[in-house]
Amino acid sequence: MSEDKDRQFSEEVSPQHLVLWSVLLFAAFGWIFWDFLQRQFWFAIKQQADWGHTLIIPFIAGYFVWLCRGKLLREPFRRAWSGVVLVLLGLGWYTLCALGPSAIHHNNLMGFGVACTLTGLCLFLFGWRAMRYLWFPLLYLFVFGQSISDRLMEIVTFKLQDIATIGSYYGLGLLGLDVTRAGNTLEILYNDNSYPLNIAEACSGMRMLMAFLALGVAMAFTGLKYNWQRLTLVLLALPTAVFVNILRVMTLGLLSIADSGFASGDFHTFVGTLWLIPAFLIYLGIVWILKNLVIDEDDEIEEEEPENSSIRFSGSATMAFVVAVCILASSALALQAGVSALNVHLVKKPVFPRRDFSMLPVEIDGWKRERDDLRLDAAGVESLGTELYLTRMYVHRNKLLPPIQLHIAYYTGQIDAIPHVPDRCMVAAGFVPLTPEPMTLKLEMNKEGWQEETPELLDGDTYPTLVDEGELIRLPIGEFELRTTEFSHPQLGDQHVFAGYYFIANGKTTAYPEQIRLFSFDRTSSHSYYCKIQFTIRGSSQFTTEKFNTIVSSFSSSLLPEIMRCLPDWVEISQPKTNNDTQVNQEP
């Protein structure tokens, strides 16, 4: 009786009206979530190896919906007003992330608001019965259709690096090779020659794992009948990806014996791509085994009901779409008003150095460059996360002072970047920290000639300045501190390595990586950048942290003005200028 009533009062929507309302709905949805959607798109384009698969996830989710079309269209859609509550909750959370504290202006937190809103829209327009078939495509879209923050990824990535290193170490050993391991670095000894192999973050297998999870869930949903089969296939994605990644690292190790260039550059990437083919075949074999574990002789195939191919709504479909579009459009207007009133910049524009770091003096205050600047291969640049860097060794004319390695890395326009610091990177390379946590030491900077300038800025910050060769150099605001760690290494004997760093972010200085987000991603700033300045010295067991800090303080005092000549002048960027954007957005 209820079904007959639905048929009697149902409204059949013509394709023309459905297309019209869909376009309006997507336009309103894209309007309010434009910041998230365009950021996600550029993640997929600029980091294709990591997140390129997110571009096809919406189409796979749409295919899942298409497979259920018979069940979805069997009865008219009955809208559920409870979906409006979920829509409002999603919009409210997204707005809070966009306009609230910088700590929650996070891509994945904002993605949660997008997910709640889209789920609420589907519930409101199509009702609870339809959600029995739509929940899985929506969940698949939300889980695999967005990039994962570096801050979340690093937790898993470092574990996978360890597994890949240990697995490759034992695998190469089983092949009869003499292999040593230090951290995430392998050293293959063959014919009295040494062939180092660094298991970088790109070799952790995280990319393969994400691809296999997305593929496994899709194959489980479409190709397997029982839930236990689907769950087994998804769970086997992790060991399959890890196993194949170990084989890939072993392959690179063997190829490096023939030619060290095979373990880096484009060939390194090619080998990783090539191993996806056998990995996919292995996964197909797992699907075949799971299918043949259970054979149902009387396997009835559920037939669709093609006679109900039209899209019908119980009640006025037009009113439902009007309500949905009005909610999204009014929320978008409110968000834009809040952005304007609070002077919030949801998208950060990049601002590039004024000079190339290679122009830093090769001789400064008794220190002289030794050898050419170190350049990383493609895999190293990918791990570092920027092409704007400098790694240079300086020696002092006083031979009693040890050489010091300077490393500068510059990042701009990023949302949730994780700085590469010795606390993690050197540990991954096999170095052993001698203290549980890094020490923060005060740099005794030589401030002779420094003056205080109070520019007319909205925040009223006072910048120290220095006049050198007739040029006004603005120095960063804040306490100069050095985040320092002392390391040992099995191959260095009693020698220790001291590494210390600090950051300059949007004209301010800090030694703490977690404070970069507060400085560099200030909502009221239209641009963002941060620069890591790192110093490394190798010394004997008698060389102390205090001596390291004294050398770095003296060296950094002379070097800092030269670095600030290269970095953007934050006062000029912060002060409104008619031609400012055209000046700071030109990469040298």
* Residue 177 in this model has a pLDDT that exceeds 60: yes
At residue 75, the 3 state secondary structure works out as coil
Q: Range with the lowest mean pLDDT among 241-255, 317-331, 491-505?
A: 241-255
**Mean pLDDT confidence for 164-168:** 85
Alpha carbon of residue 79 to chain centroid: 38
**Mean pLDDT confidence for 495-506:** 92
What is the reported pLDDT for 3? 45
* Residue 583 in this model has a pLDDT that exceeds 60: no
Q: Summarize pLDDT for 193-246 with one digit per residue, the tens.
A: 777 777 665 555 566 677 778 888 888 888 888 888 888 888 888 888 888 888
* Residue 308 in this model has a pLDDT that exceeds 60: no
**Mean pLDDT confidence for 388-412:** 92
Classify strands 527-539 and 349-350 as parallel, antiparallel or unpaired.
parallel
H or E segment at 308?
none
Most confident of 8-17, 309-318, 494-503: 494-503
Mean pLDDT, all residues of the chain? 82
* Residue 498 in this model has a pLDDT that exceeds 90: yes
Which distant-in-sequence residues (6+ apart) come within 8 Å of 503 by Cβ? 419, 509, 510, 511, 513, 515, 516, 530, 531, 532, 533
What is the reported pLDDT for 418? 65
* Residue 495 in this model has a pLDDT that exceeds 70: yes
* Residue 296 in this model has a pLDDT that exceeds 70: no
Q: Range with the lowest mean pLDDT among 230-244, 266-280, 331-345, 513-527?
A: 266-280
What is the reported pLDDT for 436? 82
* Residue 305 in this model has a pLDDT that exceeds 60: no
Residue 417 gets the label, from left (phi > 0), alpha (psi -120 to 50) or beta, of: beta
Burial class of residue 488 (count of CB atoms within 10 Å of its CB; 0-12, 13-18, 19+): middle
- Predicted model pTM: 0.76
Higher per-residue confidence, 229 vs 124: 124
Higher per-residue confidence, 132 vs 261: 132
Which distant-in-sequence residues (6+ apart) come within 8 Å of 579 by Cβ? none
* Residue 26 in this model has a pLDDT that exceeds 50: yes
**Mean pLDDT confidence for 71-93:** 92
Q: Range with the lowest mean pLDDT among 267-271, 343-347, 426-430?
A: 267-271
What is the reported pLDDT for 264? 60
What is the reported pLDDT for 8? 47
DSSP code of 355? Answer: S
What is the reported pLDDT for 463? 83
pLDDT-derived band at 586, boundaries 50, 70, 90: very low
Higher per-residue confidence, 565 vs 416: 565
Give which of 494, 496, 467 is closest to 484, Cα–Cα: 496
pLDDT-derived band at 256, boundaries 50, 70, 90: confident
Q: What percent of the chain has pLDDT over 90?
A: 30
Angle at 540 between CA 537 and CA 543, to 5 degrees: 70
What is the reported pLDDT for 464? 87
* Residue 331 in this model has a pLDDT that exceeds 70: yes
Give me the helix-helix angle, 237-258 and 150-174, nearest 10°.
60
**Mean pLDDT confidence for 460-472:** 80
* Residue 386 in this model has a pLDDT that exceeds 80: yes
Give which of 391, 419, 420, 425 is closest to 406, Cα–Cα: 391
Which distant-in-sequence residues (6+ apart) come within 8 Å of 21 by Cβ? 13, 317, 318, 321, 325
pLDDT-derived band at 139, boundaries 50, 70, 90: very high
- Find where tokens 């293959």 sit: 188
Give which of 209, 219, 211, 191 is closest to 246, Cα–Cα: 209
* Residue 1 in this model has a pLDDT that exceeds 60: no
Amino acid in position 232? T
* Residue 344 in this model has a pLDDT that exceeds 90: no
